[in-house]
């Protein structure tokens, strides 16, 4: 949906052969993961410690490498991702880009 921060996709499953039991009210969850190669490249480029414990807001810290692989979208650059990196690297260029008066520079 335009303007939405959520990406919505619809999938259909054929359950007629009985390989997948489904009862009314059942739910199916899909948890995408980033490839280990992408995570390794991302960590190498940022220089961040893969074992650093990070809390993504649910009060359950996990290693940065696991968070990057299973909980964060690192396949596209978002403001939240840049803020996450800035908090951990103290990179002055990123801090400057993230100031409210630099929206045009950030968009570029």
Q: What is the pLDDT of residues 61-102, one digit of tens each?
A: 999 999 999 998 888 888 888 888 888 888 888 888 888 888
- Residue 54: beta bridge partners? 62
Select from 101, 32, 38, 44 the least CA-distant residue to 70: 32
Secondary structure letter of residue 19 according to DSSP: S
Answer yes or no: is pLDDT of 14 > 80: no
**Residue, of 100 and 15, whose pLDDT is higher:** 100
The predicted model scores a pTM of 0.60
Select from 46, 45, 43, 40 the least CA-distant residue to 89: 46
Q: What is the pLDDT of residues 28-37, one digit of tens each?
A: 787 889 999 9
Answer yes or no: is pLDDT of 52 > 90: yes
Cβ-contact 8, 1 below 8 angstroms: yes
């Amino acid at each position: 949906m335009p303007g939405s921060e959520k990406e919505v996709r619809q999938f259909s499953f054929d359950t007629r052969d009985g390989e997948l039991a489904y009862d009314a009210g059942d739910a199916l969850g899909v948890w995408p993961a980033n490839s280990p190669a992408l995570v390794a490249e991302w960590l190498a480029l940022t220089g961040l410690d893969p074992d650093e414990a990070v809390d993504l807001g649910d009060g359950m810290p996990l290693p940065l490498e696991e968070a990057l692989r299973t909980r964060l979208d690192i396949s596209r650059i978002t403001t939240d991702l840049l803020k996450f990196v800035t908090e951990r690297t103290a990179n002055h260029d990123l801090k400057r880009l993230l100031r409210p008066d630099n929206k045009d520079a950030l968009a570029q």
